[in-house]
Each structure stands twice: as C-alpha cells, then as structure tokens.
Amino acid sequence: MKIRCIEVDQPLGPFYLASISSELLKKLTYSRVTSIDGMKLTGNQRGLDDTRVVDINKYLQTASAAIPNSVILAANYYDDDNLETEPGKAWSLGQDEHGLFIDIPDTSLKLAGIVDGQHRINGFYNSKVEMDIPCSIYFELPPSLQALIFATINFNQKKVDKSLAYQLFGYQLDESTSESWSPDIVAVKLSREFNLENNGPFENKIVLVKKPKPPKNVTLVDVPDNSWSISSACFISGVVSLLSGNAKNDRYIIGKKNILGHGSRSCLKMNDNYPLRKYYIEGNDLAIEMVIERYFNSLKKSLWKNKNNDNIVFRAIGITAQFDFLKELLVKELVDLGPDLEFDTLLGKFSDITFEGDYFSPRTATKKRLLDVFRLKAGILKPDEVDEEIVLAAG
C-alpha cells in the first residue's frame, strides 16, 4: 500500500506528514500503556484515561467531529522494541512523478508505535465512524527519542511524573548511574561513542533519525550519494541483540523498587544465548565496546573494502546481518573472548565477497542469504549446503 506524504525537516530529523484512515490506523498501530502492579512497572506510556476515550468516541459520532492535530507514529518498531529491517515487511519511502509516498508492504503487521495520540485512536474502537487522520511519521525512531518526544509534548500539556517517564524509558544517561542502565541505555551510549570515534568503523555514520533509503531505481531530492549511514535504531538494536533477549523486561527489573531503592544490572540473570550479557551484568561496558569495535574494524578492512556506498552491506539489513553473525561467532565460541581477541584471522578473507544481482537485493530473504555467505566463508557451512549464488558470492 502506498500513502502520499510530504517531508518536514527539523533539527531532530525528518518526519513525514500523511493522511491515513482511522480504520487502517487501528490495524497498523499499537500503544504500550503504563500500568503499576504493586511496585512493578509494565508498559511504557501514560495509562489510558477511559473517560477521555469515551468522550472522544462520543464526539466522533457528532456531525462536527474534527481531529486536526496529527498523531505521531514511530514506524518499523514492534511493541517489544525490536526493529524490523526486512524490506518485505518494513515501511519505506519512495518517490514517483507525483511526489513522495510511504510504502507499507504488509498492513497486517502492527509496525507503528503511537508516540502521541493513543486516546484519539482508541476513540475509534467500538465505533462505526471512519475518517482520515493527519499523521506525523518518523522512520526508525529509537525508543529513546520516542520517549523524548512523548515527554516534551505531555510535560508541557499535562503534568506527568517525569521520574516515572524517565525510569520507564531509561535514556537519561546523565541522570542515572551506570549500574542502573538497561541494555538499551548501554546501546544508546555506545551509538554516540562509535559515531564520534575518530577513524572508527562508524565515525559519522550513525544518525539519530535517518531518512529512509529509497529503492535503487528511485532518486530522492537532497539525498547525498557520496557516503553511507545507518539509523541509530539499527545500531542500537544490533548491540542489544548481544546483551539481552528482552531489553524491555530487563529495564523493568532494574527499575523495580525494592527496600534498598532501585535495582541494578546485578539483579538480572545470565543467558548464554546473548554472548556479551556477562559483561553487561558485570558493568563492563568497555569490554562490550572493545568486542564490537574490533569486529567491525576487521570488517572495515575486509568486507567493506572497495564496496560502493549503496552496497547491501551498508544498508540496515546488511548491518543487522553483520551483528547477527558476530552473535553467532561468539555463541559458538569461534573466537576467543580473551585479552588477545582478534577477528582478522577469521574475517580477513571476507575481502573477496561480492553481493551482486537481484539475489541480494533488499527483500525478506536477503539477511539469511548474507549470513549464509558469511557462514560459508568462515567454514561454518559447506558449499553443498547452500545455493549456487551463495557459493559465487563467497568467491
């Protein structure tokens, strides 16, 4: 489905204004409401005011019903904070002779979190009323920035417990001690550091709110083609995948009050499926940074070398596959997480990998295909276990 839109550039980053029917919004969106069960926090937004929802529902059925203020949406995140990067599922931006449009490939997926406007949308439930709603849509807006926008809007309009909001979202790095940082806070911090690191693999490559990359056959105005970049959401999701299987739950456990105050990372349980979790629980963020830095520095010298800026390895799906491969290497203990940790021996031969042709164009199956090339090159798979295109790509 294609929905026409216009781009609005602001200091935080671009968003896209679009008109979406209320019926479609009910299919596409979700909100995660904050509730308190004893001292345990669940959800991540202020609780719904049932009276307000009922009032809106009644108002919508009047002849003078109007909702001129836009609903703010964060596209391509599921309600568990996981980022969707597969082209067959993720929303994307396109352009044709009529202008910009948002392409929603699968309207059965709830891939748009409501940053602001949950009462308005909930007012349409249990109602036969349908109308077009103005929407401000951000692509790959990390939960940290969703929180910032939510807090900024609602703190100015109606008093909200800032401590509750910041504790739930947990991205105020300067307002809390490192012991209380959830996995996604650590990932946010690392995204900033990697983006600023001189000569590092991601120097000036991580953007707070990244413009969606158009298809190869589409050229958008004012889109630079002399470099590549990824959204901070892509990087943050990759880091979190090494630390936790449920960052949201970890965040709640750490934030849960007890007789000694708030919890800490040490309250969390180990899980060998997330290879850097041990360092995270111990508070050894420097070790996490070192592993990621050495891995991507090695890829920069091999896989990334002599690749065009629009190569699949620099797209969100490519970076996600590279994070997944790092996780696999660590879980299977194919590298030694000791003081002499290095990846060049294993990844040095990745320099002759080539991803060409439609087989590796952005689509749902591409991430697994990229991973299979990496696995074949690293000796995890054998040539007779994969498609011919995988063998050719691996050189």
**Chain centroid to CA 157: how far?**
28
Angle between the N-to-C axes of helices 143-157 and 183-196, in degrees from 0 to 180, rounded to the nearest 10: 110
> Is residue 205 classed exposed, middle or buried when 0-12, 13-18 and 19+ CB atoms within 10 A define those classes?
middle
Give, as one character, the DSSP assignment of residue 210. P
Helix (H) or strand (E) holding 163: helix 162-169
Beta bridge partners of 114: 73
d(CA 307, CA 353): 10
Contact 31, 114 (CB under 8 A): yes
Phi-psi region of 136 (alpha: psi -120 to 50; beta: other; left: phi over 0): beta
What digits encode the pLDDT tens for the residues 183-200? Answer: 988 988 898 899 989 999
Token duo for residue 303: 């896989």
- The total of other beta-carbon atoms located within 10 Å of residue 42's CB is 14
> DSSP 3-state assignment of 120?
helix
Total H helices, total E strands in the chain: 14, 14
Q: Which residues, listed in sequence order, are joined to residue 29 by a DSSP beta bridge?
A: 112
pLDDT at 87: 87
Range with the poorest average pLDDT among 45-54, 169-178, 245-254, 270-279? 169-178
- Residue 70 CB coordination number (10 Å): 18
pLDDT in tens, 360-386: 987 768 899 999 999 999 999 999 999
DSSP, collapsed to helix, strand or coil, labels residue 257 as: strand
**Max CA separation in the chain (angstroms):** 72
pLDDT of residue 218: 54
Nearest alpha carbon to residue 190 among 112, 326, 282, 290:
290
> Which has the higher per-residue pLDDT, 184 or 290?
290
pLDDT score at 171:
43
Partners of 74 in the beta sheet? Answer: 113, 138
Nearest residue to 65 (alpha-carbon basis) of 55, 52, 73: 55
The confidence score (pLDDT) of residue 313 equals 95
Among residues 393, 320, 329, the alpha carbon closest in space to that of 85 is found at 320
Confidence (pLDDT) at 174: 53
List C-alpha distances in Å: 319 to 198, 238, 288, 293.
20, 8, 17, 14
What are the backbone angles phi and psi of residue 93, rounded to the nearest 5°? -105, 135
pTM of the full structure? 0.70
Q: What is the pLDDT of residues 94-111, one digit of tens each?
A: 999 999 999 999 999 999
Work out the burial of residue 260: count CB atoms within 10 Å of its CB; fewer than 13 is exposed, 13-18 middle, 19 or more buried. exposed
Query: Alpha-carbon dihedral of residues 290, 294, 299, 301, nearest 10 degrees?
Result: 140
CB of 95 closer than 8 Å to CB of 101: yes
| Residue 142 near residue 232 (C-beta atoms within 8 A) | yes
> Which region among 78-92, 161-175, 197-211 has the lowest average model confidence (pLDDT)?
161-175
Q: Report how far residue 295's alpha carbon sits from residue 292's, in angstroms, rounded to the nearest whole number.
A: 5
112: β partners:
29, 75
Q: For the purposes of burial, counting CB atoms within 10 Å of the CB of 183, is it exposed (0-12), middle (13-18) or buried (19 or more)?
A: buried
Tally Cβ neighbours within 10 Å of residue 175. 12
Residue 77 pLDDT > 60, yes or no? yes
